Structures are given as C-alpha cells and as structure tokens.
C-alpha cells in the first residue's frame, strides 16, 4: 500500500492506494471552530471512522493536532505502506520534480519556510511525524510549485533587478498538484491536446492558472501563496501603496 498525505492550512487529507493503484481508503481531518472532525471511508464509501475532538484555539496548534489525529488512526489500522508521499507547498527553484526525502532535502525545504510560513512548517511536521510512524519507509515529496516551473522567464520575473531573480525572488505559482490533476482530466472532456484553458483552484486558498497544451503559462500566485485572488485568510493581490499607507499613516488608528 502507498500512503498519500496532504497537510493543508486547515485540513489534513490522506489516501491509501493498493499497489495496483486502486484506492483502499481516504480520509480527512478538518478544523470546525474549536473542534476537530476525523472522517475515513473505504473504497465503497463505507465509514471507517467518524470522530469529533476538541482542539486548541491557536490555528497552528490545531493543524498539528490534525496530523496527530491522522497518525493515531493509522496506528489503529496496523498499516505497512511501501512509501509515504507528501504534498509540499514550496519547492523553490531547486525542486521541480518529486524527490525522495532525506535530511538534506528537509533542510532545503525548511530554508524555504520564509516563503510559505503558513504551510511549509506543517508539511515538514507531517514528514517528521510519518518518519517516526514508519521508520525506514521511503518518503517522497511532490511540490505545488513544480507544475509552474516551465513558465517563461517573462512570467517568472518581477520588474526588479536580475540579481534578485538569481537569488530566488520570482513568481513560483502554487496549487500545482491540483492543476496537474485537472490537466489530465481535460482530454476526458473532449478537449484538444493544445487547448488553452483557465483552471480554478477554489478553497481556503484560491488561485487561477492559464494552461496551454497541458503546460502552465501563467498563475495568479507569485513568490508566495499570498498573491492573486482574495482567500479565506489572505487578502490576495494588494497595492503595495496600501501597506505603506498603513505603516506611515493608518496603522493602529
């Protein structure tokens, strides 16, 4: 069995697949106010778990509790996965394809926390916990930024000096794993291989992506996951002048 874990900003989703690719179970642990709900169903939709637990009011602690709840349930099932695959939000310019996780990879991903402070620590916490849960089992990181790595330099550059681009100040784009899945569904909808489409990822975090021929052309998100559409806890695109105005004239008034 292969175990897929997706630690998000407000939920943890996980799925177990048989070696044949057939889904064995899927579950979600999500925050609802000050309560944690864990639900797991089997391949036929039968309920394997349905529990509501209290959690701390602090959102960061709450998501950590979600990861712990998932690990606890997995323990009760005595599962022995071949590998654990993780969705990781930020791969920077270094990680543009899935990679086997080791100490060096973890250190590189931790260095990217400054660019994804809400998500990256939680992704790393999930990796650490699964490592303790299944020592010696390979873990693989798949990156939300990787889908957009083929965008043209024109799309990736900000109007800033080239030296800053070389230092990693660029548009990365996010939700790439979601968009990669959607592009694989387009031919099933009768679309041509070179179709030009705008795809939407709508949730607590939200973005749009222009795709041509299954390849990302442009995304509403940039250096971090703050840019673009208004979201559940993020303003989206905001004139930098607003920030300067609040700092100089309006902050705290």
What residues act catalytically?
144
Give strand pairing partners of 85: 4, 140
Quick check: 172 and 148 in contact, CB under 8 A? yes
Q: What is the CA radius of gyration of the chain?
A: 19
Rounded Cα gap, residues 26 and 41, in angstroms: 6
Rounded Cα gap, residues 70 and 7, in angstroms: 10
How far does CA 239 lie from the centroid of its chain? 26
Sheet with 207-212, edge to edge strand ranges:
196-201, 207-212, 215-219
How far does CA 240 lie from the centroid of its chain? 26
Residues with Cβ within 8 Å of 161's Cβ and at least 6 positions away in sequence, in order, are none
77 by DSSP, 3-state: which?
helix
Candidates 249, 200, 251; CA nearest to 228 is 200
Quick check: 152 and 216 in contact, CB under 8 A? no
Rounded Cα gap, residues 150 and 9, in angstroms: 26
DSSP 108: H
What is the bridge-based pairing of β-strands 23-32 and 196-201? unpaired
């Amino acid at each position: 069995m292969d175990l897929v874990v997706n630690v998000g900003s407000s939920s943890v989703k996980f799925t177990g697949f048989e070696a044949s690719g057939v889904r064995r179970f899927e579950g979600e642990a999500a925050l609802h106010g000050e309560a944690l709900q864990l639900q797991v169903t089997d391949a036929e939709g039968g309920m394997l778990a349905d529990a509501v637990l209290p959690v701390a009011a602090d959102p960061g602690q709450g998501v950590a509790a979600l990861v712990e709840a998932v690990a606890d349930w997995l323990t009760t099932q005595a599962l022995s996965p071949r590998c654990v695959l993780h969705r990781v939000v930020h791969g920077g310019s270094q990680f543009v394809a899935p990679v086997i996780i080791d100490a060096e990879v973890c250190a590189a991903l931790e260095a990217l926390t400054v660019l994804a402070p809400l998500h990256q620590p939680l992704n790393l916490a999930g990796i650490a916990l699964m490592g303790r849960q299944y020592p010696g089992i390979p873990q693989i990181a798949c990156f939300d930024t990787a889908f957009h790595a083929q965008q043209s330099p024109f799309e990736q550059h900000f109007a800033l000096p080239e030296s800053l681009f070389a230092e990693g100040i660029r548009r990365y784009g996010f939700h790439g794993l979601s968009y990669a899945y959607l592009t694989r569904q387009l031919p099933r909808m009768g679309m041509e291989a070179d179709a030009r489409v705008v795809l939407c990822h709508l949730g607590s975090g939200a973005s749009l992506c222009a795709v041509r021929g299954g390849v990302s052309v442009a995304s509403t998100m940039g250096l971090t996951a703050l840019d673009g559409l208004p979201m559940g806890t993020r303003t989206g695109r905001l004139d930098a002048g607003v920030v300067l105005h609040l700092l100089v004239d309006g902050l705290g008034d």
